[in-house]
Amino acid sequence: MALGLENAGFDAVGLVEIDPDACATLRANRPSWNVLETDVRGFDPVGFRGVDLFAGGVPCPPFSVAGKQLGANDDRDLFPTALEMIECIEPQSVLLENVPGFAARRFSGYRAALARRLHDLGYWVDWAVLNASDHGVPQLRPRFIIVALRERFVPFFEWPARTPATQSVGECLFDLMAEGGWQDASAWAQGANGIAPTLVGGSRKHGGADLGPTRARSAWRKLGVNGVSLADSPPGPDFPADTMPRLTVRMAARLQGFPDSWRLMGRKTAAYRQVGNALPPLVAEAVGRSLACALAQEDPAWRSKEQLSLQGLMG
């Protein structure tokens, strides 16, 4: 999210993150970023009052179909914490994201209460489920996105237009699959002619370096990928012709939309968790550009990244 919003023109004045490996990644790639390694539940945001944007990826297990969907009864539900921070900071706009399961009927009351609270704080609120594949990412990955704006900016906001992915999994990963000398990389790439299913990153409590549960692995199998685990390196010259290759963390990162220059810190499982749990940068950038245009009170058709200088606090 931070990378995508940076590409949309926002200057990250603070990034709150509890995971030490994720903090190390942020610092390694952006030494100038103000990375605050702490639990948001104990973070005092008073020093960030009046920023242009408050953005956050709220933990998904309370609303994920892969979990028990306990919602407000799950101690990992951080929407109340986000609302407390928003009340203190009084940003001009808000961007929150979660799993598409949050759009389910069973959470309609929770969504309504969340919208009412934001409205009481002086915001217009809207939400949408966006597919990453509609914003240039060769992966399905639907995400629930909430935006909130002060009323004077609302006439200038439009949800980003669709820009469908132009690459299949094979086209996206061919060079990475071939860099170890695998002779069948070209044939594999031709067979992997669809977009990827949603990458599943797991958590510290559950999930390792694999591509998800049985249903997800079946979808990967159709693309010629062994999703049982991740590889430490791409296939070599002696890779068996009748064996499906596994993805490396770097391959997963590219499918998520990270540039190859983005360094991932920590061991394989920790690095993959960061990739699999991320909001694809291209999706964050698309929504960020829409918000930046609204904050600049410009017609969306005339937006210009170069003309914007905005500040954001991300958690």
**Catalytic site residues?**
60
- Strand, helix or coil for residue 7: helix
Torsional class of 244: left (φ above 0), alpha (ψ -120 to 50), beta (otherwise):
beta
Biggest CA–CA distance in the chain, Å, is: 63
Task: Measure the CA–CA gap between 291 and 8, rounded to whole angstroms.
Answer: 9
Composition of the chain by helix, strand, coil, percent to 5: 40, 15, 45
2 touches 21 (CB < 8 A)? no
Task: Report how far apart the first and last C-alpha atoms of the chain are (Å, whole number).
Answer: 9
Conformational region of residue 181, where left means phi above 0, alpha means psi within -120 to 50, and beta covers everything else: left
Task: Give helix 169-178 / helix 249-256 axis angle, nearest 10°.
Answer: 150
β-pair partners for 15? 35, 314
Is-contact 163 280, C-beta < 8 A? Answer: no
Q: Please give the single-letter amino acid code of residue 27.
A: R
Taking the mean position of all CA atoms in its chain, how far away is CA 98? 9
Rounded to the nearest 5°, which phi and psi values hold at 212?
115, -170
- What are the structure tokens assigned to 229, written together? 């685990």
Q: CA Rg, the chain, in Å?
A: 20
In angstroms, rounded to a whole number, what is the distance separating the alpha carbons of residues 137 and 210? 20
